Structures are given as C-alpha cells and as structure tokens.
Chain A
Amino acid sequence: MGRLRLLPTPVQRIRSHSLSDWLKIPDNFFLGAYDAASRNTIIHPQNYSTQFDITQEFDGDGQVVKWHHYNSSVGTFYYLRSSVLGGKIVTEIHGDSNGWSLGSKSKGYVYAGGDVLAEQRVTYPYSSPVNSVVWMHVDPAGSDVSSQIGGGVSLEHEFDPMGADVGYSDPANTSPPYVPDPPVPTYTGGGNLGNPACTLDNVEYDCAALFNLLQHGSAAIAPPQTYVPVTANYSDGTSRRIGFAKWNSQNNSYEATLPYQDQDERNRYLPLYWERGGQSIPSSLGGSPGQQTQYVTVVQGEGQTGRATKQNFQRVVSLCSKGKDEGAFRARATQAGGAVFAFDTGQDIINILKEASKIGPIDVIKIHDHGGPAGLIGSSQGWIGLYISNPQAANYRRDLGEGGVRNTALTDAILSGEINLAKNAEIVLYACNGDSLASETSWLLGAGKRSDIRVTGANNSVYPKTNRTAGVDFRGYFNTYQSGIWQYGSRTRSYK
C-alpha cells in the first residue's frame, strides 16, 4: 500500500467494475491510495470512514482482478480474463453472497473486433437467477445504446468529442422537464447483430428473393441508422434528448413513441408539434387522454428535432428563510413559479415538505437561505437550520439549537416516503457555501437507493447575478451531485 494523495485533476474518470459503468470523481472529494506501481488501489471519500472505500486489486500484468464496493448491494467482483483476447474480461464473478451465490456468474461479455458486442447479465429479481442478453450498439465516439432480446432499448452513455459522458440532458438546463422512460419501439432481436439474415419490414426474408425485389423496385434499402435521436426543444430555449425514433420501412419514416401516463402528464407535453426547416408540421397523434402512449410520427431525416411548449412541467416547492432577508429570499423563491413557503428552522423545512408531499410527488425543491460550510442557517444565528451530519467533517457542529436538524432527518423522511420526491427530483440550495451539505445529502440519498435525486449547492458566496439568476462569487460553481458524486457545475443558476 502506498501513499495517500489528492487526485490530481478536477474530474477523474475511472472505470468501475463494469465495462459500461463510469464514475466521475470531483477534486477534493475523494482521496486515492496508490501502490508502488502507481496503481489506484483505494478510492476513499474524504471525511468518511474507511467503510465507504472502494478497493481494487491487480494481477501481475497490472490488470484489475478484484473490485470491491462498500455498498453491499453493489458488492465484490472477481474478473476472469482471456489471454486470447488480450486480457479482456470475459466473465465477472460475484465475490460475496448478498442475494446471490458466492462464486456465481454476474456478467459475461461477447467481443467482436475488440469491442463488446453483447453482455450476458445475470440478475436476481426474485432470489433465483435470471439470464438475459443485452446487445451493445456503440458509435465511434463511444456513445452507446443497448437493446434486449425482448425489444427494449436502453440509453447507456453519450460522450462528447472530448470523451466526457454528457448524459442525455443538457446540464445547463436548470429545470429539466420530467422525462418518462425511454420509448420502447418494437425491435426484432438479432436483426443486425452479427446475423447476416436479410429482413423486410422487420421480418426475416430470404436474401436471394429480397435481392429480386430490390431489382424490381418493390423494396428499398433502409437507411443505415435504425434509430435516430429525437430532441425536444422547449419554448424557454432549453432542449433535451427525449428518446429515439425508429425507422419504419412501411411508412418510409422514423417513428417515435412518447409515452405519458395520465391527463396531467399529457398536459405537460401538449401542445406538441414537430418542426422542419422552420415550418411546423402537425404531428399525427393517436390515442385519447388517459391512454398510455401517444404516437408521434417524425418526418424522415437524421436527428429530426421536435418542439414542445413547456407547460407546468414540474412541481416546484420553493422555501425561503424568514429573518432579516426574508423579502429578498421570498422574491427569488417566487421566481420559480411553484408554491412558496417560509421557514424558521430546519425542522420547518422537513415539516413543510411532508405537508407538500400529501398532494403528490415533488419534482424540485429550492431553498433560499443564508448558509455556511456547516449548512443552512435558518432565520437566526442560533444553529436552528439544516446541517451536515458527518462528525468527521471540519465544520461539523455538535450541539444544535431548537429546531435545528441534520440532513439525515431530511434524507430519512425522503427515503421513508414521508417526503415524496418524484423520480429524478432535484434539490437546489441557493445559499452561500452549500456545497458540503449538497454533496453529503446526495451521498446519503444514494446510500438509501435514491441515487436518482440530484442535489446542488454552491462552493462560495451566492449572490443575485440578475433578477432571474444566482451566481457564485470568486468564479465559483453551483455543483450538482448524485450519490455524493459530482455530476456537473454551473456558474449561474436560474431561480426558475
């Protein structure tokens, strides 16, 4: 075991136990331990005990053979590598027995031309193993989509030209709309995945007969891309990837399925129309309110974009601190357009959110308050606010005033469902130095299997840059975390 040192760059990306999983690590949040060969053997979250370590061991060739995650639901893995394939992993084996058998297979990989063609995944949804095969579709930039035998398509990663995983949403989008699960167009498994069989209208067809049809003009070759990305541009200038459109040979067009679940969500997406060359084209809508899916035909062409007017996309609850600056905080909270509540203490925050949860899930929580490295101050300086809970942290405060609570009280309420946060919900702290509180809160939520919730805090003083946006002084950032892991930073943050 070697020396401990800070990871050298602001964002480190390391490959985790899975070939398809990536971790982003912020500067000063994790410490790495390195062995004599400068191999990263331990990743240790700063200010946490060693029980939160992620460790890995290497073989004589310098390749990882064992990987251990502190979270037992992730577990320990051993890697079986193939010398014929140049040391590539062919099988992942469970190194513990948390819901699965010790030594049982976790994943298998199938390679073609050096790239992963398919993964065999073994899952344990009901205590007995279920095998599934996932086919990986990777473009030259490394962005990938996976498809299953049953026809399901999953978005995996989207990399920019510099290799950073930019995800499927615009990080600058301060209030990303709710996005339902990716559309699931029908897909004939195995069609182009190493199987040379010809298909016509997604049905396997004799290649010789198909060639005759092509010569007579009775059939046409489909475009090279079966799926094209569909992006929704909203009236406020924001946009985000909402799924993929699939080529429909019969209609000679790409088709996307935009699911919605109820009238409320239908309202979120309507009015909806698609645009080509600045001219709006009415969408062909199918179904009626209350149906599960809404079908939209996208005109032919790669990367067609749709345009939807943003209407009440999210349920926002804005909280403003009482006290000497209540007027300013309330004015900023009102900008968000959601319900506004004032609070004195950290306990008030939790009580308000519990009450607000009674009428449905909350998409975004925005809190405006004075803050410090220990947390949110509340309406007075008596340690009555909302604070970090890690006693090893430098700014940890042992004794709190009446009404003062730690973020564990907040996360416990969220994890128990008393505070009902929607999937992919977000908590934004518009307070000075809320970075520690944000990262720790997201860490606690991630440990409780709510890693979908993002928590944002600033790493310096926050000020109103304009009437509509907050900035961070000294060129600081609003940092956004998921499971304690830094996702992205932005210099400004809209109140809305």
Chain B
Amino acid sequence: MKPLQILILIIIFSTLVFADKSWSLPKRTMVLPVNYLKMIKVQNPSKKLTSLERKELIRLFESANNTNHRKYQQDYLIETNTPIYILLKNNFPEVSSQEGEGGVFIGNIVKILSKKH
C-alpha cells in the first residue's frame, strides 16, 4: 500500500466517531448536537463505564444541551434507540424516567444527571 493511501485511510478513520475514543462535541460541528449524538458509534452500549468515563459522558450531554440553548434557543429530543442514549441509560438508569413521546429531551437528561452527579 502506498504511503498516500495509508494517509487517506488514517484521515478517514480518524474522522469516524467512536464513543469510547472521543467524548466531546466538536467545536464547529455542521450538524445539530442531537444528530451528532445519533451519529456516534458505540461498540458496546451495555458497557459499564468507569468513573472518569461516566463524567465524560455526562459532559458530552451537557455540551450538547448548552449548544442547543446557546445556538438554537431550544431543546431537542433524542430517540431512545440511539446507541449513545442506550449507553447512558445502562449506566444511569434514572434517565429512563424522562422518556416520553418522541424520545427524551436532552435538557431533561442533563437536569436529572446534574442533580445526582
């Protein structure tokens, strides 16, 4: 394989988002935070996260919530079958109380997590 091909492959794979590699919301994402969260690939949604990973996951949702309100002045619903939400729910079962029609408001997730963690 030529070096250029290797470089292209590295660039392609480095842009893919994996939950256990990257936890932060990009600063200049071109999509809505809720759609970015949907795009995140989670290799093992039932994984038990470490203390540090749990904090980073909360921070990810906080970041999405802040962007929603700062940039778009409104909240967005995340569907309950989204992998990153399933991972969150497996590690923070209390968020399931916020589920309703259309999914869960990210703001409600952050509100309930920030109270307890």
Q: Chain A residues in contact with chain B, CB under 8 A? A: 324-325, 327-329, 331, 370-372, 374, 377, 380-383, 432, 460-461, 463-464, 473-474
Chain B residue nearest in CB terms to A329: B74
Q: For the complex of A and B, list the 7 residue pairs with the smallest distance between their C-beta atoms, beginning with the closest.
A: A381-B100, A381-B101, A372-B102, A328-B73, A325-B74, A328-B74, A473-B32
CB distance from A475 to the nearest CB of B (A): 9
Decide yes or no whether B105 CB sits under 8 A from chain A.
Answer: yes
CB distance from A457 to the nearest CB of B (A): 15
| A371 proximity list for chain B (CB < 8 A) | 102
Decide yes or no whether B61 CB sits under 8 A from chain A.
Answer: no
Asked if residues B31 and A370 are in contact (CB atoms below 8 Å), the reply is no
Decide yes or no whether B77 CB sits under 8 A from chain A.
Answer: yes
Q: Contacts A372-B103, A432-B77 known; list 19 others, CB within 8 Å.
A: A325-B73, A327-B73, A328-B72, A329-B74, A371-B102, A372-B77, A372-B102, A380-B100, A381-B100, A382-B101, A383-B101, A460-B35, A461-B32, A461-B34, A461-B35, A461-B76, A463-B32, A463-B72, A464-B74
Asked if residues B75 and A324 are in contact (CB atoms below 8 Å), the reply is yes
**Known contacts A381-B102, A383-B101: does B31 contact A474 (CB below 8 Å)?**
yes
**Known contacts A328-B74, A461-B76: does B31 contact A473 (CB below 8 Å)?**
yes
Decide yes or no whether B83 CB sits under 8 A from chain A.
Answer: no
Asked if residues B77 and A370 are in contact (CB atoms below 8 Å), the reply is yes
The answer, among B35, B103, B105, for a CB contact under 8 Å with A473, is B35
Number of interface residues of B (CB under 8 A): 16
The answer, among B34, B74, B101, for a CB contact under 8 Å with A377, is B101
Scan B81-117; emit 1 where CB is below 8 A from any A CB, else 0: 0000000000000000000111101010000000000
Asked if residues A464 and B72 are in contact (CB atoms below 8 Å), the reply is yes
Interface centre among B34, B75, B101, B102 (most CB of A within 10 A): B101
Count of inter-chain pairs, beta carbons less than 8 A: 47
Asked if residues B35 and A370 are in contact (CB atoms below 8 Å), the reply is no
Q: How far is the CA of A474 from the CA of B39 in the complex (A)?
A: 11
| B34 proximity list for chain A (CB < 8 A) | 461
CB distance from A393 to the nearest CB of B (A): 15
| B100 proximity list for chain A (CB < 8 A) | 380-382
| B105 proximity list for chain A (CB < 8 A) | 324
Q: How far is the CA of A371 from the CA of B72 in the complex (A)?
A: 16
Q: How far is the CA of A252 from the CA of B100 in the complex (A)?
A: 70
Q: How far is the CA of A387 from the CA of B57 in the complex (A)?
A: 34
Asked if residues A370 and B107 are in contact (CB atoms below 8 Å), the reply is no
**Known contacts A324-B75, A372-B77, A464-B72: does B102 contact A377 (CB below 8 Å)?**
yes
Chain A residue nearest in CB terms to B102: A372
CB distance from A435 to the nearest CB of B (A): 15
Asked if residues B75 and A325 are in contact (CB atoms below 8 Å), the reply is yes
Chain B residue nearest in CB terms to A327: B73
A-B contact pairs, 9 of them (CB 8 A): A325-B73, A328-B74, A331-B73, A381-B100, A381-B101, A381-B102, A382-B101, A463-B32, A473-B32
Q: How far is the CA of A331 from the CA of B34 in the complex (A)?
A: 22
Chain B residue nearest in CB terms to A463: B72
Chain B residue nearest in CB terms to A370: B77
Q: How far is the CA of A116 from the CA of B34 in the complex (A)?
A: 54
Q: How far is the CA of A331 from the CA of B73 in the complex (A)?
A: 10
| B73 proximity list for chain A (CB < 8 A) | 325, 327-328, 331, 464
CB distance from A5 to the nearest CB of B (A): 28
| A370 proximity list for chain B (CB < 8 A) | 75, 77, 102
CB distance from B78 to the nearest CB of A (A): 11
